[in-house]
Structure 1
Amino acid sequence: MPSIMKLVAAALAVAPLAAAQTYSNCNPTKKTCPANPGSTESDLKFDFTQPSGLDKWTTTAGKVNTGSNGAEFTINKKGDAPTIQTDFYFFYGEITVEMKTAPGQGIVSSIVLESDDLDEVDWEGIGGNNGQIETNYFGKGDTTTYDRDTWPAVATPQNTFHKYTVNWSKESLVWSIDGNVVRTLNYADAQGGSRFPQTPMNLRIGIWAGGDSSNGQGTIDWAGGVTDYSAAPFSMYIKSVEIKNANPAESYTWSDMSGSSDSIKFTGSNAVSARSTTTTAAPTSVTEASPAQTSSAEASTTEASSTPTTLVTSTQSSSASSGTGSSTAASTGASSSGASSSGVSGSSSSAGATQTGSGAGSGSSSSGSGSSGTSTQTGSGSSTSASASASSSPAFNAASNVAASYMGPVSILALVATFFQL
């Protein structure tokens, strides 16, 4: 009888490999989950030119080194997808990432804010496009449409460091490049707020090959074409990160399964005494807040959300709806958002999320967004409507993640097949 470890190893060898950045180990809208670890600091700064800059970050896939250009995220071969994420969550505030995106056809450089119930906010640079960058958002794991992206202009992002900022409050999301606003999404424009990101986030940064040949055609088209690994290495650099947390706390507890901002409770001895809905931190208090939720049965569970967001790279259908690159939802008032996008790998593995522990894979899906009914400004400051599509925008608006749901069955079949072979 072959050993179980031998079977598992064989199954992983034949199953589709995926890189996962947008996943949830426990979705609080589906079940009781542990509290999110927070930070009692309202302003956190990370200098990635120094090794100490990676303190409070977890490398979830690959290897990330620091140097004079900052943290280096490099794809040398098929399956590489180096990724880091904060080991804490924050709740409203502002993040600024100083980034130089990677060149290379099909290579995607990603900055992703992600919550456990799959609220998401993105910046994504496409290696074949050295004049634009994508903005994106999703809410509650809804991937029914891919029409929420915009593609503001940015000068040579693969050759120049730029500061990419997301200002996140209860009322709006504002994307800025080097201090210039390029997009604003108001709460009501995301399906009346039901798909507006509004739960504690952590920050995930990484690089992946959306153009890997094993990906679905939709993902490859969105990423700009098939990746030629003979042209590697492809490197993205992050020089610094600043996170302003409007609601410092030791942890954030989900008091119910609504996924609304008002359901989030602050816990710990340093929890804020007054909730802040803006990007300015509320004053701190030493008053003990309510205890964090714990569940001995659930706390150790790494079950993924029932709405998986990881793209199974070799089984994705190419029938996902195509978009024009920029938002088309302005005329409808609000678009349905989805769980996304970009994918670099996470450290946990589960049947729903299907990301590999090693980060091997060719990239998870990068999805489109689009700020319904809002205005967008180009990097030069000129205002355009959110539905305007730049001529050089990718023809496909991010690949569907629905294929991720097939990862579990495929892995099981692979185990059974291998068992009989062995």
Structure 2
Amino acid sequence: MAPFWLSLWLITLSVHIAAGKTLCSTSSKCPSETPCCSQFGECGADMYCLGGCDPRSSFSLDSCLPAPVCKSKTYTWENLDNVANNTVYLGNATAHDWLSSGYPAVEDGNLLMTMPNATVGTLMSNNHYLWYGRISARIKTTRGQGVVSAFILMSDVQDEIDFEWVGSDLETVETNFYFQGVLNYTNGGSFAVANNTFENWHTYEIDWTPDAITWYVDGEAKRTLPKDATWNATSNQYMYPQTPSRLQMSIWPAGTPDTPEGTVEWAGGLIDWNNEDMQKHGYYYVTVGEVNIECYEPPSSANITGYTATIYTDYAGLDTSVQGTNKSTTLKSDTIVDDVSASERKPSPDHASSAEFAVSNAASNPVTAPQITCLSRALLPIVLVALAAFTFF
């Protein structure tokens, strides 16, 4: 299974990443002028310091803005009024609960995450962070080789808990977890789904506690991972997801000519941009119905001095590194300028509530794989070389 950070990287690259940016890692932190390290390993300021900012690789621990705490809520999709475009979001988690990039739409009371021709799809991120909890959603996946659907929890230090579906296999769901982004290919597991995942609704659920993770499909527990099973004697620690994480959902292209061969094989082959859904609708799509988020209490040993946000107090990136606080989650400036000017950003009717708009907007602003290569010539080879060495489930 491909790690979900690849999908995040592909989808957000079209908006955020430009050539010449400084790369970052835990061994090479960001400079003061671009202090915040994104999940893609690139330094920046302003919006780079919001969700996804990795404090371990940033200029200092407080370079990243505090993360809004979890909010138990059920989401439905009559419109996208509760969704902010990620290029204009400034951290006010009371104004919107979701951030989007790509081409989201609503249809018949459901969310459509679309991927028009030669684009990198759609990413939806809840901006409140669970520190243990239960998430569930009714989902109809996409279909077609090379196209992937995802429903995951991701922390700012790259703890990750996944459901993923490869569009060429509509009777299987894949599960996985990662600790701080460390790749371990014994972590994954695949499970049968009773009926076609594209044509039929199924409810997918992740129950995450300090002691175990359980993945459910239609109320049936498919897999349980005890924390005790993740002990690593070499590093003398549990390699278990344990830091505040946000729910993210996406559709993304794994089968492109510029993607490493192993990824393309895992995804079932190269994408057919002329398949039946492209011909009928003009896009691939994932359909999402009701989404539920239930927050659990923080660990009993947690350092809680406030109740609106969380921060990291050391570089270990463990649950003991996290502190509850009442610090602000918003950027100081309300006039952040991003790489896409207001004149270039095409507004949508009714907050992009029509799937037809997704197609027309993508047609006027396409992002192809070759364009992505040009956008980040420094980052792309590093990511692709690393991925080429991986063995995918």
The answer, yes or no, to whether TM exceeds 0.5 is yes
Q: Quick one: which amino acid aligns to residue 318 of structure 2?
A: S
Paired residues in the alignment total: 271
- From 210, 214, 217, give the equivalent of 2:261: 217
What is the aligned partner in structure 2 of residue 48 from structure 1? 77
- Paired residues for 1:267-346 under 5 Å: 267-268=325-326
Bigger relative contact order (CA 8 A; separation at least 6): 1
> Which structure dedicates a bigger proportion of its chain to strand?
2
Q: Quick one: which amino acid aligns to residue 246 of structure 2?
A: N
- From 110, 122, 136, give the equivalent of 2:162: 122
What is the aligned partner in structure 2 of residue 140 from structure 1? 180
Q: Quick one: which amino acid aligns to residue 241 of structure 1?
A: V
- Paired residues for 1:380-391 under 5 Å: none
- 1:239 aligned onto 2:283: no
Query: Shift in Å at residue 208 of structure 1?
Result: 0.8
- From 316, 321, 334, give the equivalent of 1:263: 321
Task: Provide Cα deviations, 1:99-122, integer angstroms capped at 9, x if missing partner.
Answer: 100011111001121111110011
Task: Provide Cα deviations, 1:387-407, integer angstroms capped at 9, x if missing partner.
Answer: xxxxxxxxxxxxxxxxxx974
For residues 211 and 40 of structure 2, the distance between their equivalents in structure 1, rounded to whole angstroms, comes to 25
- From 255, 271, 283, give the equivalent of 1:227: 271
- Paired residues for 1:189-204 under 5 Å: 189-192=229-232, 194-204=238-248
Q: Secondary structure at the match of 1:262?
A: helix
What is the aligned partner in structure 1 of residue 115 from structure 2? 75
CA contact under 8 A between 1:56 and 1:88: conserved in structure 2? yes
- 1:150 aligned onto 2:189: yes
CA contact under 8 A between 2:70 and 2:131: conserved in structure 1? no
What is the aligned partner in structure 1 of residue 54 from structure 2? 27
What is the aligned partner in structure 2 of residue 65 from structure 1? 105
Q: Quick one: which amino acid aligns to residue 77 of structure 2?
A: F
Q: Quick one: which amino acid aligns to residue 80 of structure 1?
A: V
For residues 119 and 132 of structure 1, the distance between their equivalents in structure 2, rounded to whole angstroms, comes to 24
Query: Shift in Å at residue 148 of structure 1?
Result: 1.6
How many percent of aligned residue pairs carry the same amino acid? 24
For residues 409 and 106 of structure 1, the distance between their equivalents in structure 2, rounded to whole angstroms, comes to 19
Query: Shift in Å at residue 40 of structure 1?
Result: 6.1
- 1:161 aligned onto 2:187: no
What is the aligned partner in structure 1 of residue 34 from structure 2? none
For residues 152 and 368 of structure 2, the distance between their equivalents in structure 1, rounded to whole angstroms, comes to 18
Q: Secondary structure at the match of 1:228?
A: coil
- From 171, 178, 188, give the equivalent of 2:211: 171
Compared CA separation, residues 216 and 180, structure 1 to 2 (3 A): same
- From 367, 379, 390, give the equivalent of 1:408: 379
CA contact under 8 A between 2:141 and 2:149: conserved in structure 1? yes
Structure 2: gaps spanning 5 or more residues: 1-14, 22-37, 42-51, 84-95, 299-306, 339-364, 371-375, 383-393
Q: Secondary structure at the match of 1:90?
A: coil
- 1:96 aligned onto 2:136: yes
Compared CA separation, residues 157 and 295, structure 1 to 2 (3 A): closer
For residues 113 and 80 of structure 1, the distance between their equivalents in structure 2, rounded to whole angstroms, comes to 20
For residues 312 and 294 of structure 2, the distance between their equivalents in structure 1, rounded to whole angstroms, comes to 21
Query: Shift in Å at residue 82 of structure 1?
Result: 1.1
- Mean Cα displacement is larger for which, 193-202 or 117-126? 193-202
The RMSD of aligned alpha carbons is 3.4
Q: Secondary structure at the match of 2:191?
A: coil
For residues 29 and 188 of structure 1, the distance between their equivalents in structure 2, rounded to whole angstroms, comes to 25
Q: Secondary structure at the match of 1:123?
A: strand
Task: Provide Cα deviations, 1:8-39, integer angstroms capped at 9, x if missing partner.
Answer: x9x969x9xxxxx9647532334414353223
For residues 329 and 121 of structure 2, the distance between their equivalents in structure 1, rounded to whole angstroms, comes to 33
What is the aligned partner in structure 2 of residue 131 from structure 1? 171
Structure 1: gaps spanning 5 or more residues: 1-8, 16-20, 269-290, 303-357, 364-404, 412-422
CA contact under 8 A between 1:253 and 1:292: conserved in structure 2? no
For residues 369 and 211 of structure 2, the distance between their equivalents in structure 1, rounded to whole angstroms, comes to 36
CA contact under 8 A between 1:46 and 1:53: conserved in structure 2? no
CA contact under 8 A between 2:67 and 2:329: conserved in structure 1? no
